[in-house]
Structure 1
């Protein structure tokens, strides 16, 4: 393996990592920023793209770019959609 490269298995899933993992694995992310990431995720749901991390207060695009190869949003499942409900047939009056 080349020095400086990160495999997909080594990446931090920003949708599931706890504050400690975020702090230890990402550059320029200390305890307050790591906690802010977790709080944002709880309030707004999972990140769809790595770039969405810049929406967290205290995290800018420079931090996202610096850590891009260290992060992933994991395998996002497609939202499940219930089949459309069919209207109940109208009863036919008897003669």
Structure 2
């Protein structure tokens, strides 16, 4: 009975530890579907740049790649690089 309790405790601790690892991973933001509030959460992107991203997307269609975000006025390649791990094009 003691081995079962010990094993159960180990499984529980492992589950908790791996759960925290996955909880800290940021979810990718789809730049073709994100709203202004979501885009504003990115590093170096405030509300006005987020609005420019949405306006560019509406005028030119969806982004083909994350790097295309640099085509938006006020968004540079460095800003795209800083956020590359958090961006997605779906």
Q: Specify which of 13, 36, 39 is matched with residue 30 of structure 2.
A: 13
Q: Alignment length, in residue pairs?
A: 70
CA RMSD, aligned part only? 1.6
Q: Which runs of 4+ in 1 moved over 6 A?
A: none
Stretches of structure 1 that go unaligned for 5 or more consecutive residues are: 75-95
Instruction: Name the TM-score, length of structure 1 as normaliser.
Output: 0.69
Stretches of structure 2 that go unaligned for 5 or more consecutive residues are: 1-20
- The structure with the largest helix share of the pair is 2
Instruction: Name the TM-score, length of structure 2 as normaliser.
Output: 0.72
2:42 pairs with 1:43: no
Q: Flag the structure with larger Rg.
A: 1
